[in-house]
Amino acid sequence: MTLSTPIRKIYQGVADRRQLFRMFDRHAQRPNRGQVDAGPLYAGEWFEIAQPEHDYMLEILPPLWMRQDMFAMRERLTGSITSIFFSLTIDGRSRWFHGYCDLSDPASLDRMKTAIIERESRPVKAMTREERLEHIWSATHDDYRGYADWRFPQLRRGSRIVMICAPGKSRDFKLLDKLTDTEIAAKLPVHLRYLPDAIAA
């Protein structure tokens, strides 16, 4: 992972065990799976989990290594990318997180830890447009999301798409990053729809 790899929150709220395992490989449908290095897709992604899920993952296999507030999974996702589980105290409260870090860059661990603490220490709950889109992608069932094919311009093929209800109640796929604010709101759960916009860190 390089310094330019974005560290990004990909799910709002605390993921349960089912959602945790879905997000371990949320890019599973990507084109050319197995032929192209997927490291850049995953590196820098993080989300919150509960303590039982954190402890469960610690007990599955002996970790690759452990520190006071984090441990690394022995099995790597791809190349030097692996799961890091964090146990952090934020505003006096214990919380737990999962993130994908590139172990070829030792500084990536502390960068992610710092980014999580900074993001979760904001006094007002808010979401950036990017966080809204990532949450939609993470929460959408595989049958209703995918990757742009021949129906889309050549330069956008392989980009993420999600199903929307088009005018006239018909359904169609649209590029995730081209969703309007109204379409984004419609795809978010009610408790997230009206959060104010946040300035990306």
CA nearest neighbour of 98 among 192, 5, 191, 25: 25
What count of other Cβ atoms lies within 10 Å of the Cβ of residue 169?
A: 6
Q: What pLDDT, in 10s, does the model give residues 149-173?
A: 888 988 998 899 999 876 666 678 8
- DSSP-assigned letter for residue 7: P
- DSSP-assigned letter for residue 137: H
* Sequence letter at residue 19: Q
Q: What pLDDT, in 10s, does the model give residues 60-71?
A: 888 889 998 999
Q: How confident is the model at residue 123 (pLDDT cuts 50, 70, 90)?
A: low
Which sign does the torsion angle of CA 50, 56, 61, 62 carry? positive
Question: What are the percentages of helix, strand and coil residues in the chain, rounded to 5?
Answer: 35, 30, 35
Task: Locate the domains of the chain by residue range.
Answer: 8-120, 129-193
